[in-house]
Amino acid sequence: MSSKLRILVPVKRVIDAAIKPRINKTQTGVETKGVKFSINPFCDIALEESIRIREGAKDLVEAIHAVSIGPTKAQDVLRVALAKGADTSTLIDVGEEEVEPLNVAKLLQKVVEKENSNLVILGKQAIDDDSNQTGQMLAGLLNWPQATNASKVEIEGDSVTVTREVDGGSDTLRAKLPLVITTDLRLNEPRYASLPNVMKAKKKPLEKLKASDFGIDIVKRLETLKVDEPPVRAAGIKVETVDELISKLKELKAI
Amino acid sequence: MIGASRSVISSVGRRTIAKCSKPILSSSVRYLSTTLNNHNESKIRVKNQYIRSYSSSSTVPLTAETYADKVQRDERFKALDAEDIQYFKSILNDSIIENEDDLLFYNEDWMRKYRGQSKLLLKPKTTEQVSQILKYCNDKKLAVVPQGGNTGLVGGSIPVFDEIILSLSSINKIRSFDSVSGILKCDAGVILETADQYLADQGYIFPLDLGAKGSCHVGGVVATNAGGLRLLRYGSLHGSVLGLEAVLPDGTIYNSMDSLRKDNTGYDLKHLFIGSEGSIGVITGVSILCPARPQAFNVAFLGVSSYEAVQQVFNDARKELSEILSAFEFMDLNSQRLVGQYLKSDHPIESAEYPFYVLIETSGSNKDHDDEKLETFLGTAMENGLVEDGIIAQDETQLKNLWNWRENIPEASQMNGGVYKYDVSIPLKDLYGLVEAANERLEAAGIVDFEDASKPVVKAVGYGHIGDGNLHLNVAVRQYSKAVEKVLEPFVYEWVSSKKGSISAEHGLGFQKKNYISYSKSDIEIKLFKDIKKHYDPNGILNPYKYI
């Protein structure tokens, strides 16, 4: 008995992947003023996957709902999601606060309940904090199975087969819905949002809510002490002869 | 950033060409690359640049042989001998190249259409050395070709016979930058992208941008008065260059580097050198006014159904986007087909193939303001049926990818073996007519077919800076041949002349168009040009066989 999919795709607004971030003057974070923000690349892949699942089988997907937890400007990212194929969206406006993964997971749990989702596809990590925790914590809170770092997703009825990228190669899991999947780079290549769809997306629903609407109080458990640039790579040296090379390597205790 | 993915993406040179088809993959490749070294000077050119594939092509025939009927070696020039080489060594020590194999790179042009026979390349490190070299060559009547990044498209920067190549690559320091006035002073051999990167760190932008930015020199773009992708917004180099340092053929150093924004004291000599293509002086330093770097960039890539629609979109864009419009490029369907083959990738506009595509770039100081203007403009254009389909870049990666579909047309045109390039200015309404006429003529001669490898010509494609009335007609060929050249020339020049256009909008005259200047200039103008050349270079040693 296959149930229809109600997919939830959380998307995050992050500093554009192609831009080199700079440390801010107080060394407590990165400079965000005047910097370009875009959708997190892994979230983009998650969104693309949900659309492909819908395109792959008629009537399998009942709804694709996009949600973003971030500042008011995260609306832009939601509009991109709607243009690409999400049906509806929610913005949980938390102002300029950085929200930790556990709080994100708690909020997402509430959204899953609200939207009655049975499949959550999200990026494996955000490129600003690189936490790689939200998907896993969400699965724990919901008590759902999780398949992380997905490079392939196949759905057959209630059963989902996910191929995962692991250090040694790949790992294939099978689980029953409901399920949390986090996406890795090789899962797919996101499409461009076409202009006609961008125009149409303006009419799609984007509801604006706050964390308090879900009864969640965002409490920070971590304090960032300092943010530093990685050490500058020291210049190499050129050697003239093989003998010199060997003696230098010995000096460095490399051989 | 995308930390875990480093292990799965193999090492790729910084922004190598053609690996940019899929947005996400290419962004992670760029991630890896930006943590690697930041050298700009190697022969593997950076960012959207041309990689020469020596392994794939056969030898390029000598220009002197291919064009033996058009040009002979001027016997007034001395042939290089051991004494001369000794003298140069005494000034430059080891900054010379004499080995024939090493010289091959410098003897050939980027399009691999021309090849010279120089036996010596000089790499001076200072302007004084350039002066000593030229004085000596002028005394001995040794011919010299000044060479920058060697990315010229009309064979102007390589020798025809045994001219000495004078490379500016080692004169490459940024001298100073004044962040209040925006005036950048740098050596001629600074690579354009390096200068722009330096300015980016200060919040400024180089007022010129073109596909060859990873290799071309600042001195070179000034010597050729390059136009580029942003002329629409920042104007021509005649407006932005404030002063120059150049060495005249007799060794005199002309220096106006300290010139300010406004200075009405005497003839404005720098204009003579801008666009002079190394014929009356070797530029060694440039002082240029740079605008503040816009914070917000947007790119829209549109499919339209006719050339009339292209013109209409341009008019509307100029009116509605007005001060934020920074580039407006058009390209035809065949050029996109070639790029698709070259990049091995699907076209970003998936819904259908359209006869014409337009790339619009906006840049400004306020993202929200620009976004709104652009979306309103595009919304209206779609509602009016002017634009059939399109894409707005959602992030930097998509922005660069969309530009790739325009910036890779030159390489894609060449990938099957070669390309005949015609860079022309024509009144807007007639602009695309040249491409249609060229294709008709090629069809009539029975030498063109997109798929059939037995025909020498693949297709004639058209694209360009429509905002400036500038068309690039690229005839993509499988091999260079006199037969094809005869079908195209002087047909193209005559066609352009009949519409009162310019036979070289921005690429210059170089070697390719040396004898065709009369299609665009009157006899009186040509005589005045020759007077100037004779005055500054009486022995004719600088870049002979070219220009006028």
Q: Which residues pair with A181 in a beta bridge?
A: A121, A147
Own/partner contacts of A220-225, CB < 8 Å, gap of 24 or more, are A220/A100, A221/A100, A221/A102, A222/A100, A224/A28, A224/A29
Residue B222 has pLDDT above 90, yes or no: yes
Q: Which residues of A touch B379 (CB under 8 A)?
A: 199
Closest CA to A127 of A30, A34, A28: A30
CA distance B330 to chain A (A): 18
Which of B77 and B53 is assigned the larger pLDDT?
B77
Residue A16 forms contact with B (CB below 8 Å): yes
* Closest chain B residue to A193, measured at CA: B391
Asked, as a colleague might, if the bond just before A10 is cis with ω within 30 of 0, I would say no
Q: b/e per residue, B73-98, with b = 16+ CB within 10 A?
A: beeebeebeeebeeebeebbeebbbe
Q: Which of residues 40-79 of A touch B (CB under 8 A)?
A: 41, 44-45
Residue A167 forms contact with B (CB below 8 Å): yes
Q: What percent of chain B has pLDDT over 90?
A: 78
Strands A37-39 and B241-247: unpaired
B273: DSSP letter: H
Kindly state the tokens that stand for B277. 């293509």
Instruction: Dump pLDDT digits (tens) for B226-240.
Output: 998 889 999 999 999
Q: How far is CA A210 from CA A92, A94, A217, in A?
A: 5, 7, 10
pLDDT value at position A35? 87
Q: Which of B5, B391, B396 sits opposite A16 (nearest CB)?
A: B396
CA distance B22 to chain A (A): 6
Rounded to two decimals, the pTM is: 0.83
Residue B387 forms contact with A (CB below 8 Å): yes
Instruction: Dump pLDDT digits (tens) for B404-458.
Output: 999 999 999 999 999 999 999 999 999 999 999 999 999 999 999 999 889 999 9
**Pick among B7, B22, B24 to test the A interface (most A CBs inside 10 A):** B24
Contact A192 B394 (CB under 8 A): yes
Q: Exposed (0-12), middle (13-18) or buried (19+): which is B489, by Cβ within 10 Å?
A: middle
Contact B24 A189 (CB under 8 A): yes
CA distance B258 to B266: 15
Query: What is the separation of C-alpha B256 from the centre of its chain, rounded to a whole number of angstroms?
Result: 25
Q: Which residues of B touch A167 (CB under 8 A)?
A: 7
pLDDT value at position B57? 57
Contact A17 B349 (CB under 8 A): no
Contacts of residue B367, Cβ cutoff 8 Å, sequence gap at least 6 = A36, B295, B296
- A210 membership: H or E segment, kind and range: strand A206-210
Q: Which of B24, B296, B397 sits opposite A45 (nearest CB)?
A: B24
Instruction: Dump pLDDT digits (tens) for B36-71.
Output: 333 333 333 333 334 444 434 578 999 999 999 999
Mean pLDDT, chain B, whole residue set: 88
CA distance A12 to B450: 45
* Closest chain A residue to B303, measured at CA: A195
Residue A100 forms contact with B (CB below 8 Å): no
Q: What is the ipTM of this complex?
A: 0.85
Contact A193 B30 (CB under 8 A): no
**Pick among A13, A130, A195, A202 to test the B interface (most B CBs inside 10 A):** A195
Strands B325-332 and B356-364: antiparallel
* Closest chain A residue to B21, measured at CA: A189
Q: How far is CA B100 from CA A247, B160, B162, in A?
A: 36, 15, 12
Contact B350 A167 (CB under 8 A): no
Residue B302 forms contact with A (CB below 8 Å): yes
Q: Which of A38, A165, A194 sits opposite B395 (nearest CB)?
A: A38
CA contacts within 13 A on the Cβ side of B294: 20
* Closest chain B residue to A236, measured at CA: B37
CA distance A217 to chain B (A): 29
Instruction: Dump pLDDT digits (tens) for B95-126.
Output: 999 999 999 999 999 888 999 999 999 999 99
Contact B391 A36 (CB under 8 A): no
Q: Which of B28, B34, B396 sits opposite A185 (nearest CB)?
A: B28
Contact B397 A165 (CB under 8 A): no
Helix (H, G, I), strand (E, B) or coil at A86: coil
CA distance A166 to chain B (A): 10
Residue B35 has pLDDT above 50, yes or no: no
Confidence of residue B254 (pLDDT cuts 50, 70, 90): very high
Q: Which residues of A touch B382 (CB under 8 A)?
A: 195-196, 199
Determine how many CB atoms are found less than 10 A away from the CB of residue A124. 29
Kindly state the tokens that stand for B76. 């007034």
pLDDT value at position B38? 35
Residues of chain A with pLDDT under 70: 1-2
Q: How far is CA B487 from CA A121, B494, B500, B507, in A?
A: 59, 12, 21, 21
CA distance A173 to A147: 7
Strands B144-147 and B164-167: parallel
What are the backbone dihedrals phi and psi of residue B436, each rounded to the nearest 5 degrees, phi first?
-65, -45
Mean pLDDT for B20-36 is 34
Contact A17 B31 (CB under 8 A): yes
Mean pLDDT for B176-192 is 96
Angle B540-B248-B118 (CA atoms, 0-180°, nearest 5)?
55
Q: Which of B24, B302, B394 sits opposite A80 (nearest CB)?
A: B394
* Closest chain A residue to B26, measured at CA: A18
pLDDT value at position A2? 58
Q: Which of A19, A125, A199 sits opposite B379 (nearest CB)?
A: A199
Q: Which residues of B touch A182 (CB under 8 A)?
A: none
CA contacts within 13 A on the Cβ side of B262: 0
Contact A17 B350 (CB under 8 A): no
Q: How far is CA B476 from CA B57, B117, B255, B412, B421, in A?
A: 16, 27, 43, 8, 9
Q: Which of B4, B28, B398 sits opposite A192 (nearest CB)?
A: B398
Residue A229 forms contact with B (CB below 8 Å): no
Contact A189 B22 (CB under 8 A): yes
**Pick among B371, B372, B395 to test the A interface (most A CBs inside 10 A):** B395
Q: Strands, DSSP E only, in B433-500?
A: 457-465, 470-477
Determine how many CB atoms are found less than 10 A away from the CB of residue A60. 15
Closest CA to B220 of B164, B165, B176, B275: B275
Instruction: Dump pLDDT digits (tens) for A29-42.
Output: 898 888 899 999 99
Q: What percent of chain B has pLDDT over 70?
A: 90
Between chain A and chain B, the number of residue pairs with CB atoms below 8 A apart is 93
Q: Which residues of B touch A18 (CB under 8 A)?
A: 27, 30, 395-397, 400
Kindly state the tokens that stand for B388. 């059939």
Contact B1 A127 (CB under 8 A): yes
Q: Are B283 and B219 in contact (CB under 8 A)?
A: yes
Contact A38 B382 (CB under 8 A): no
CA distance B110 to B157: 10
Mean pLDDT for B173-185 is 96
pLDDT value at position B211? 83
Q: Are B349 and B390 in contact (CB under 8 A)?
A: yes
